[in-house]
C-alpha cells in the first residue's frame, strides 16, 4: 500500500476526545448545548453542531447557564452549559450554584488550561484550578484526563445531576483531552449509556402509614406544593391526591398550575389565612426555607402545627421545625403510596375549614378584581397585569417567565396558571438575571410560546440576549415593566447631581434595543396598547420586546419582602 493510503486507513480507526464527548452526550439523549465559544471549545461546538446536537450560542455564559438549569427542570435530563476556562467558567458558575440551590439537574462543562502549568501556577492562558473552585457550589465535580475515561466521566456527571435530589455538576475537560486520540472501536466500547439515571426511591410503608394517620386526625389540613412536586412530573397522581383528600392546597410560585389556580381547592388567594389557621400541613416537594418563613413565627399563627413532609432528601427533615411524619422518597412514588393507603373512602376534612378558605379566597379575589380592570396611563402594576392575566388564561400552554421585585410579586399573585411547569421565575434565591436564559431554553425545549414579564432592572441583567432570541428566531415576547428603576423610579439624591442608586434613565425605550436585531419593538403606554401588542406577538411568534410604561411611583421598596431589609435604631439619612 502507498504511504498516503496507510495513513488514511489508520485515521479511520481512530477517534478523539472531541468526538467521544459528543458521542457520550448523544448516547445519553443530551442533544442541546447552551454555551459561549472560545479556546479550547470552539471546534468542539462546531463538531457538536455538525453531529446533530443543537448548539445554542449565547452572549454571556451566565445566561447560557440559567438556560441549561431550567432545561434540566423542564426535561428531568441535565441541562448542558459549555464554557471556556477561567472567566467563562466563573461566568457559568453562578448558574451552576443556582441550579444546585434550586435542585435543577445541570452539568457545567468547562474547558480548562494545561494541568501541569495550572498546578505549578506558572501563569497559563486563562489559568485557574476550576475543579477546586466549583466543588463547594455543586453536588459533584469531576475531571477527565484520558480520552478512554470520557464515557465514564459523562455517565458519572449525568447520574450525579439527576439522581436523588437533583442539582448542578461540574465536569472539567482540559484542553489536551479534546485532541487525544485512541482506537475508535475501543473508544465506542468505553461509552456508557446510563441505565435508570434517577432510580425510584420508594418510601417505607410505615412512614406512609404514619403520614396518613396524622393527616386523618387533622381538623384544618393544608397541602403545600413546591417546585419539587412540579419537577417530578407526577401531575396526575398529585392531582388525584389533592382531590381525593379534599384538602385546600397552596402552590409555591413554580408549582402554580400543577393544579389550576382556579381549582376550587386552591388556597393561593387565601395564603395568610391557611398558613395561620391550618393544624396539619403536608409539604410535597416544598422546603421550609425563607419562602415559607421557616415554618414558624408570625406568618404561621399561634395554634400548634404538625408537619408532614414528602421529600427525596432525608436531610431536609427537621431542617427548621420538627417534622412529625417524614416521608422520604421520590415524589411520584410517595404520592402514589399515599393515594393507595388512602383507600376508597377517605374522609373529607371537617366542612367548615374548606368553606372558611373559600370565603377568604373569594373576598380577596373580588377585592382585587376592579383594580385589574383599570386603563390608567401611565399604567400601574394592576392595570398591566390584568391584561396579561387574560392573555395567559387564553393561552394556558404558553410559558411565563417572570423576574423583578414588584413585577415578580404582583405577577405571581395576579396571573393564574393552568398547566404544570408553565411558570418559571427567580426561584429559591430570588435571583435577578434568569429572564432571557430561561426564555430561550423554554422556547427551545418545549417549542411553546414564551411570555417574559420583566422588571426594567431585572431585564438589564440578561438584556443582551435579545440578540440571541432574534438570531434563533424564538417565539419570545418580552414585556418590560418600565418604572424607571429598581422598585420605583422616584428616588432623589439630595447631595449631588449623580442619580440615586435605584434610578435608571427616565423614559428609556427598551423597545428600540430589539429593533436593532430585526425584532419587533413596541412602546405601550396603556393597558389597551399593551394588550394589542402582546396578543400580536403571541400570535405571530416573532421575537418582540414591549416597553410597558409604568408609573414610576407605582412600586414599593423590595416588593413584598421589604421586611428583609436590615434596619438600624439610628434614623436613616
Ligand atoms: C443577582 C441579583 N442582584 C441583585 C438583586 C437585588 N434585587 C432584587 S429585585 C431587583 C430589581 C427590582 O427592580 P425591577 O426589576 O425593575 O422590578 P420593579 O420592582 O421595579 O418592578 C434587584 C436589583 C437580586 N435579587 N439578584
Ligand atoms: Mg423597575
Q: Does 209 score more than 90 pLDDT?
A: yes
User: How, if at all, do strands 221-225 and 249-251 pair?
Assistant: parallel
Atom of ligand 1 nearest to the CA of 458: 15
DSSP string covering 1-69, please?
A: --HHHHHHHHHHTEEEHHHHHHHHHHHTT--EEEE---TTTHHHHHHHHHTT-EEEE-SSHHHHHHHHH
Residue 381 Cβ inside 6 Å of ligand 1? The answer reads no
Section 548-558 average pLDDT = 95
Residue 303 confidence (pLDDT) = 85
Residue 458 Cβ inside 6 Å of ligand 1? The answer reads yes
Tens-place pLDDT, residues 327-340 = 999 999 999 999 99
Residue 463 Cβ inside 6 Å of ligand 1? The answer reads no
Q: How far apart are CA 376 and CA 364, in angstroms?
A: 22
For residue 39, how many other CB atoms are within 10 A of its CB?
14
Burial class (CB in 10 A: 0-12, 13-18, 19+), 301: middle
What is the three-class DSSP state of 213?
helix
Residue 132 confidence (pLDDT) = 97
Atom of ligand 1 nearest to the CA of 405: 19
Q: Report the chain's mean pLDDT, rounded to a whole number.
A: 96
Q: Does 245 score more than 70 pLDDT?
A: yes
Tens-place pLDDT, residues 18-57 = 999 999 999 999 999 999 999 999 999 999 999 999 999 9
Is 468 or 568 the better-scoring residue by pLDDT? 468
Residue 405 Cβ inside 6 Å of ligand 1? The answer reads yes
Q: Whose CA is closest to atom 7 on ligand 1? A: 432
Residue 572 confidence (pLDDT) = 63
Longest CA–CA span in the chain (Å) reads: 92
Q: Does 12 score more than 80 pLDDT?
A: no
Q: Quick one: how far is CA 235 from the chain centroid?
A: 18
Q: Best substitution site from 414, 430, 437, 487 to test ligand 1's pocket, by max atoms within 8 Å of Cβ?
A: 487
Residue 482 Cβ inside 6 Å of ligand 1? The answer reads no
Section 394-401 average pLDDT = 98
Residue 104 confidence (pLDDT) = 98
Tens-place pLDDT, residues 460-487 = 999 999 999 999 999 999 999 999 999 9
Section 161-165 average pLDDT = 98
The residue among 277, 301, 166 whose CA lies nearest residue 228 is 166
User: How, if at all, do strands 181-183 and 140-143 pair?
Assistant: unpaired
Q: Does 105 score more than 90 pLDDT?
A: yes
Residue 407 Cβ inside 6 Å of ligand 1? The answer reads yes
Q: Does 5 score more than 60 pLDDT?
A: no
CA of 227 to the centre of ligand 1 (A): 22
Can you give the pTM of this predicted structure? 0.97
Residue 419, H or E segment: none
Q: How far apart are CA 495 and CA 480, in angstroms?
A: 30
Atom of ligand 1 nearest to the CA of 483: 20
Residue 4 confidence (pLDDT) = 59
The residue among 339, 348, 314, 345 whose CA lies nearest residue 329 is 314
Going through 239-321 in order, the beta strands assigned E by DSSP cover 249-251, 280-284, 306-311
Amino acid at each position: 500500500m502507498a504511504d498516503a493510503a496507510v495513513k488514511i486507513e489508520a485515521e479511520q480507526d481512530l477517534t478523539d476526545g472531541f468526538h467521544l464527548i459528543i458521542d457520550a452526550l448523544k448516547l445519553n439523549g443530551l442533544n442541546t448545548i447552551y454555551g459561549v465559544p472560545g479556546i479550547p471549545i470552539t471546534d468542539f461546538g462546531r463538531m457538536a453542531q455538525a453531529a446533530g446536537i443543537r448548539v445554542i450560542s449565547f452572549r454571556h455564559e451566565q445566561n447560557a447557564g440559567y438556560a441549561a438549569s431550567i432545561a434540566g427542570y423542564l426535561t428531568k435530563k441535565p441541562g448542558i452549559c459549555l464554557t471556556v476556562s477561567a472567566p467563562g467558567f466563573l461566568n457559568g458558575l453562578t448558574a451552576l450554584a443556582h441550579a444546585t440551590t434550586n435542585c435543577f439537574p445541570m452539568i457545567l462543562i468547562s474547558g480548562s488550561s494545561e494541568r501541569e502549568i495550572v498546578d505549578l501556577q506558572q501563569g497559563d492562558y486563562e489559568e485557574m484550578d476550576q475543579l477546586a473552585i466549583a466543588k463547594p457550589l455543586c453536588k459533584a465535580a469531576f475531571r477527565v484526563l484520558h480520552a478512554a475515561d470520557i464515557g465514564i466521566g459523562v455517565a458519572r456527571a449525568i447520574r450525579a445531576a439527576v439522581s436523588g435530589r437533583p442539582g448542578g455538576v461540574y465536569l472539567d475537560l482540559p484542553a489536551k483531552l479534546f485532541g487525544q486520540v485512541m482506537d475508535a472501536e475501543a473508544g465506542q466500547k468505553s461509552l456508557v449509556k446510563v441505565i435508570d439515571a434517577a432510580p425510584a426511591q420508594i418510601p417505607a410503608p410505615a412512614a406512609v402509614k404514619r403520614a396518613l394517620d396524622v393527616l386523618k386526625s387533622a381538623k384544618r389540613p393544608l397541602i403545600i406544593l413546591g417546585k419539587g412536586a412540579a419537577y417530578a412530573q407526577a401531575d396526575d397522581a398529585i392531582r388525584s391526591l389533592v382531590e381525593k383528600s379534599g384538602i385546600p392546597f397552596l402552590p409555591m410560585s413554580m408549582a402554580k398550575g400543577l393544579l389550576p389556580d382556579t381549582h376550587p381547592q386552591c388556597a393561593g388567594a387565601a395564603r395568610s389565612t391557611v398558613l395561620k389557621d391550618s393544624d396539619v400541613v403536608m409539604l410535597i416537594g416544598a422546603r421550609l426555607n425563607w419562602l415559607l418563613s421557616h415554618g414558624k413565627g408570625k406568618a404561621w399563627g399561634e395554634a400548634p402545627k404538625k408537619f408532614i413532609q414528602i421529600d427525596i432528601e432525608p436531610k431536609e427533615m427537621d431542617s427548621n421545625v420538627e417534622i412529625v411524619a417524614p416521608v422520604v422518597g421520590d415524589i411520584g412514588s410517595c404520592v402514589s403510596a399515599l393515594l393507595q393507603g388512602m383507600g376508597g373512602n377517605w374522609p373529607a376534612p371537617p366542612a367548615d375549614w374548606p368553606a372558611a378558605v373559600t370565603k377568604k379566597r373569594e373576598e380577596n379575589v373580588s377585592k382585587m378584581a376592579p383594580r385589574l380592570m383599570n386603563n390608567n396611563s401611565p399604567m400601574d402594576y394592576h392595570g398591566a397585569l390584568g391584561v396579561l392575566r387574560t392573555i395567559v388564561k387564553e393561552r394556558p400552554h404558553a410559558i411565563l417567565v417572570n423576574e423583578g421585585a414588584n413585577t415578580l410579586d404582583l405577577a405571581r399573585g395576579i396571573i393564574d396558571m393552568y398547566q404544570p411547569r408553565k411558570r418559571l421565575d427567580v426561584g429559591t434565591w430570588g435571583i435577578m438575571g434568569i429572564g432571557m436564559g430561561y426564555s430561550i431554553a423554554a422556547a427551545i425545549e418545549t417549542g411553546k410560546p414564551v411570555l417574559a414579564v420583566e422588571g426594567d432592572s431585572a431585564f438589564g441583567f440578561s438584556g443582551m440576549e435579545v440578540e440571541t432570541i432574534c438570531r434563533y428566531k424564538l417565539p419570545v415576547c418580552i414585556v418590560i415593566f418600565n418604572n424607571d428603576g429598581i422598585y420605583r423610579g422616584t428616588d432623589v439624591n439630595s447631595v449631588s447631581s449623580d442619580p440615586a442608586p435605584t434610578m435608571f434613565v427616565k423614559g428609556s425605550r427598551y423597545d428600540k434595543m430589539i429593533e436593532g436585531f430585526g425584532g419587533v419593538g413596541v412602546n405601550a403606554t396603556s393597558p389597551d396598547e399593551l394588550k394589542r401588542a402582546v396578543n400580536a406577538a403571541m400570535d405571530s411568534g416573532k421575537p418582540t420586546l414591549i416597553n410597558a410604561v409604568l408609573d414610576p411611583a407605582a412600586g414599593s421598596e423590595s416588593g413584598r419582602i421589604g421586611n428583609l431589609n436590615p434596619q438600624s435604631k439610628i434614623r436613616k439619612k
